[in-house]
């Protein structure tokens, strides 16, 4: 009986102490963590659409769409997040396209856990620049060979799975964006 009391008291005390410590640390840096995420998104938006003067967030269901506006508050482009399964974990990308969803401004990878040195190259300019001003009136295709069609994206050598994941995620998301934009207008 005595033992049971002691065990309970010690465990409760240790847990309470740890909980206190954690809430203290979390409270101290919480805002910074959030600010980091916002800053990262903002950076990516700026990079992909330097002409935009302001950003308006529109929520559709659980989705967030970023309307990029110019000086006269006219819509010039849409920004949206695409999420899909990569080689090791989900790949999260920011996509910016023109307001008719016919041409990409470009994409940026926000979060990914692809193999360093291989799949992680999806974060590098060589791969990402292929999407700049890319025509998306047709679904994109991923190829291991040299590009022969307008809709093709060249896969990273020995990282076909990651490259394909980016392209497929993008295609799916653009498709769902088209529906959402329609419902928006």
Partner 1 sequence: MKNFLKGLWKEHPVFRQLLGLCPTLAVTTTAKNGLYMGMAVIFVLVFSCLIVSLIKKIVPNQVRIAVYTVIIATFVTIVDIFFKAYIPEMSKELGPYIPLIIVNCIILGRCEAFASKNSVGKSLIDALGMSLGFTWGLFLLASIRELLGNGTILGITLLPSGYNPLIVMILPAGAFLVLGFLVALMNKIEQAK
Q: In the structure encoding, which two tokens stand for residue 33, read together?
A: 């963590």
DSSP 60-83: ETTEEEEEEE-TTS-EEEEEEEEE
Is 125 among the residues that bind partner 1 (CB under 8 A)? no
* Range list of H helices, the chain: 2-48, 125-128, 160-184
Is 15 among the residues that bind partner 1 (CB under 8 A)? yes
User: Which range, of 10-18, 44-52, 62-70, 125-133, touches partner 1 by CB under 8 A?
Assistant: 10-18
Q: How far is it, in rounded angstroms, from Cα 144 to Cα 80?
A: 27
Q: Which residue has the tokens 């069609």?
A: 149
Candidates 111, 141, 152, 168; binder of partner 1 (CB under 8 A) is 111
Q: How far is it, in rounded angstroms, from Cα 104 to Cα 164?
A: 17
Q: In the structure encoding, which two tokens stand for residue 181, read together?
A: 């934009």
The least CB distance from residue 179 to partner 1, in Å, is: 31
Is 116 among the residues that bind partner 1 (CB under 8 A)? yes
Is 158 among the residues that bind partner 1 (CB under 8 A)? yes
Tell me how far CA of residue 27 lies from CA of 3, 32, 58, 75, 102, in angstroms.
36, 10, 29, 38, 44
Is 184 among the residues that bind partner 1 (CB under 8 A)? no
17: region left, alpha or beta (phi > 0 left; psi from -120 to 50 alpha): alpha
The least CB distance from residue 106 to partner 1, in Å, is: 20
DSSP symbol at 152: E
Total chain residues near partner 1 (CB under 8 A): 26
Identity of the residue, 14 or 83, whose beta carbon is nearer to partner 1 in the bound complex: 14
User: Which range, of 4-12, 62-70, 161-169, 170-178, touches partner 1 by CB under 8 A?
Assistant: 4-12
Is 22 among the residues that bind partner 1 (CB under 8 A)? yes
* Range list of H helices, 68-139: 125-128
Identity of the residue, 3 or 71, whose beta carbon is nearer to partner 1 in the bound complex: 3
In the complex, which residues of this chain contact partner 1 (CB under 8 A)? Answer: 3, 6-7, 10-11, 14-15, 18, 21-22, 25-26, 29, 32-33, 36, 40, 89, 111-113, 115-118, 158
């Amino acid at each position: 009986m005595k033992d049971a009391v002691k065990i309970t008291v010690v465990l409760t005390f240790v847990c309470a102490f740890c909980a206190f410590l954690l809430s203290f640390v979390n409270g101290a840096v919480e805002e910074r963590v959030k600010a980091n995420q916002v800053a990262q998104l903002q950076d990516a938006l700026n990079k992909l659409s330097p002409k935009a003067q302001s950003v308006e967030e529109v929520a559709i269901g659980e989705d967030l769409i970023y309307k990029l506006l110019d000086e006269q508050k006219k819509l010039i482009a849409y920004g949206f997040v695409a999420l899909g399964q990569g080689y090791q974990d989900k790949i999260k990308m920011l996509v910016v396209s023109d307001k008719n969803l016919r041409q990409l401004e470009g994409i940026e990878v926000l979060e990914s856990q692809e193999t360093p040195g291989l799949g992680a190259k999806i974060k590098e300019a060589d791969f990402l620049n292929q999407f700049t001003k890319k025509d998306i009136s047709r679904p994109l295709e991923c190829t291991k060979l040299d590009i022969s069609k307008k809709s093709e994206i060249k896969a990273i050598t020995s990282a076909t799975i990651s490259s394909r994941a980016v392209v497929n995620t993008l295609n799916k998301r653009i498709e769902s964006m088209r529906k959402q934009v329609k419902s928006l207008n």
